[in-house]
Amino acid sequence: MALELLASAAGAANTNGVKRAKHEEHLVGFECKAFELLTPTNETSVRQMADTLLDRFQRQMAFAAIYRAKANALSKLEKKLAPLESKAK
């Protein structure tokens, strides 16, 4: 269900474009946290949805969120393995 919602959000982002309020021009109306949260369990589908985004900025932000999720997963794995490496020495 979460993937379906993400697909809907990507479709809506494509039809609505980037929205900026006049007093908050530095803020962009696109939240990509869902890409980061769904990547560990559904990376292929999430990448495909990110690739469907028409706006270049939104697409880059989505892929940045995907890479951030992968980096976080590697960092957690490294922390788990660190005690095992010290015992092996």
Position 27 scores a pLDDT of 52
Structure tokens at 39: 């990547």
pTM: 0.71
Task: Round to whole Å and give the CA distance between 24 and 5.
Answer: 27
pLDDT tens for 20-47 read 556 555 555 677 889 999 999 999 999 9
Position 28 scores a pLDDT of 53
Nearest to 8 by CA among 49, 57, 63: 49
CB count within 10 Å of CB 58 equals 20
Average pLDDT over residues 41-58: 92
Look at 48 and 18; give whichever has higher pLDDT.
48
End-to-end CA distance of the chain: 46
Look at 19 and 87; give whichever has higher pLDDT.
87
